Amino acid sequence: MTRATLVAVGVACAISSAPAFAASSYVQVVEREYSLVLSRPSVGAGAVPIEALNLGMDAHNLVVGRRAGGPVLARMPKLFHGALASRIVRLTPGRYVLWCTLPGHRARGMRATLVVR
């Protein structure tokens, strides 16, 4: 084998061994004044990549919990316009609430429900 062939095989092996998530397990949350829009309403249980994208003009953050105001399972930092953050969260079957914790944002509609099956 040539050196180029060995390099190509090595790259292919590295790519195929990288952890992969099913497309249906990924959730993008678009934040705007004053709403959260989920890319899908439900996902399968397990390690769920959750991505927050702030397309609003104000700063926003995102937390995930079993109920609004309850214990937080995952927290994204405060994001400014155009910023993106992501976390992988291990979720078991049930309903989860996602919301912005900045003052007054949840009350004005920045909350959403994610169902895990």
DSSP-derived secondary structure for the chain: --HHHHHHHHHHHHHHHS----GGG-EEEEEETTEEEES-SEE-SEEEEEEEEE-SSS-EEEEEESSTTS-EEEEEEEE-TT-EEEEEEEE-SEEEEEE--STTTTTTT-EEEEEE-
Domain count of the fold of the chain: 1
> pLDDT 10s per residue in the chain (117 long)?
544 433 343 434 444 444 555 556 899 999 999 999 999 999 999 999 999 999 999 999 999 999 877 889 999 999 999 999 999 999 999 999 999 999 999 999 999 999 999
Give the CATH number, domain containing residue 68: 2.60.40.420
The answer to whether position 4 is within a domain reads: no
Give the pLDDT of residue 85.
Answer: 98
* Cis peptide bond upstream of 26, omega within 30: no
| The model's pTM | 0.78
For residue 24, what pLDDT is reported? 64
Which range marks the domain in which residue 58 is found? 22-116
The confidence score (pLDDT) of residue 7 equals: 34
